[in-house]
Amino acid sequence: MFRILTAGESHGPLGSVIIDSLPAGLAIDIDYINNELKRRQHGYGRGARMKIEQDSVEIYSGVRFGQSTGAPVLLTVVNRDHNNWKENMSINKVQASQAVTAARPGHADLSGALKYGRDDIRDILERASARETVLRTAAGALCKLFLQEFGIKIFSRTIAIGSINVQKEIRGSSEIESSRLRCADPDAETEMIKLIEQYGEIGDSLGGITEIIADNVCIGLGSYVQYDRRLDGLIGQAMLSIPSVKGVEIGPASENSSLAGSLVHDEIFHDQEKGFFRKTNRAGGIEGGISNGQPICVRLAIKPIPTLKKPLHTVDIKTKQACSAQKERADVCVVPAVGVIAEAMLAIVLTNVFLDKFGSDSLLDIKSVFKVYQSRIANGK
Ligand code: EPS
């Protein structure tokens, strides 16, 4: 079974990820993986931490002479900021540093400290931190390389930051990649940057909406036969596991909920050249828990991050006295970064269901099974 497992604290020496059951024979392009990490770090509204880190991977297993071998792949990413945290993150017992006791509303701080019985919230926030998503992005980059072998490409773009919405329908373009907010609407981008500046000045944070699209996905990934094999369910779980993501929609789901069924469902057509096809994609590429050959479209509602320079009211977990929440250095807006992380999560989910359908040991074998399947589908059977 394909799976990934990460380890590492935000200010620990490094993060690591094991990618288990990646098929053998995949060309591993380290520059591609590092570029994905760079894309995740990019984005106006990130805090000072992103000026310290220059994320890049080291590969320790599962790759030989530039190709995956089928063995578990171990990737690591160093936290440069660890140099400033050596004492505070010591593995060995040292003189205790100042414990964090003021829980931040909206973070894992209070529930985590109570659940794990810790009296220093740092034990919670170090692992709950979104720093962990650098490792998912690295694993997702390998999955993207795998999916590209079958023509599947994944994009993301910013749709809204705070109350400012993008008006243009552009995706996967160089404009998005060069935009500071992954947004190809320069007017909206200017307004968004102003808003992020304003919120940064007053010590507040901003959320938004991002869209992720997978193009050229074959028909038949996922299944309706069990609840935990439904592709939309798997995507929902993966997306909601990204810190700050609080809502997921497949296709224009909220809009569909207020329309008549006759206006929502994508009618089916057939001709010699195209085979079965649709003229619309209101299902967002998934029907009955299975990919239907249309682009998979996912939108995410992202909450404003909970670490605020303008702290909220809370309680000290030690003294139980009212106080202000812990002030940590923080980002103002993470919407562009979430887009890149969500691309990685979609790639991880699609790789999983793809390997489930077409086998998982050798890229060569998977390609031949895929070819036979594609010709059966092309014959409409
Ligand atoms: C994060 C807080 C900030 C973010 C961090 C996530 O880190 P710090 O507390 O060191 O300033 O920058 O994100 C990353 C380090 C990253 O690589 O994305 C949090 O509390 O979740």
How many structural domains comprise the chain?
1
What is the distance, to the nearest Å, from the Cα of residue 32 to the centroid of all Cα atoms in its chain?
Answer: 17
Given a cut of 80, whether residue 171 has pLDDT beyond it is no
- 328 touches 119 (CB < 8 A): no
Q: Ligand 1 centroid to 47 CA: how many Å? A: 8
**Residue 279 assigned as binding residue:** no
Which atom of ligand 1 lies closest to the CA of 334?
Answer: 18
pLDDT at 137: 98
Q: What CATH number has the domain bearing residue 184?
A: 3.60.150.10
**Residue 108 assigned as binding residue:** no
What would the mean pLDDT of 10-32 be, rounded to a whole number? 98
Q: What is the DSSP string of 62-102?
A: SEETTEE-SSPEEEEEE-GGGGGSTTTT-SS--S--PPP-B
Instruction: Please calculate the CA angle 28-31-176 and round it to the nearest 5 degrees.
Output: 115
Q: Note the pLDDT tens digit of each residue in 262-306.
A: 999 999 999 988 889 999 999 999 999 999 999 999 999 999 998
pLDDT at 330: 80
Q: Ligand 1 centroid to 305 CA: how many Å? A: 10
**Residue 171 assigned as binding residue:** no
**Residue 40 assigned as binding residue:** yes
Domain range for 249 is 3-378
The residue whose C-alpha atom lies closest to atom 18 belonging to ligand 1 is 131
Q: At what angle do helices 231-240 and 335-358 cross, to 10 degrees?
A: 140
184 — pLDDT class (breaks 50, 70, 90): confident
Q: How far apart are the first and last CA of the chain?
A: 28
pLDDT at 231: 98
The residue whose C-alpha atom lies closest to atom 2 belonging to ligand 1 is 330
Q: Note the pLDDT tens digit of each residue in 304-329.
A: 998 888 878 999 999 999 999 867 67
Q: Which of 51, 131, 329 to mutate to test the pocket of ligand 1 (most atoms within 8 A of CB)?
A: 131
The residue whose C-alpha atom lies closest to atom 3 belonging to ligand 1 is 330
The residue whose C-alpha atom lies closest to atom 14 belonging to ligand 1 is 131
pLDDT at 25: 98
Q: Note the pLDDT tens digit of each residue in 98-116.
A: 899 999 999 999 999 999 9
pLDDT at 377: 93
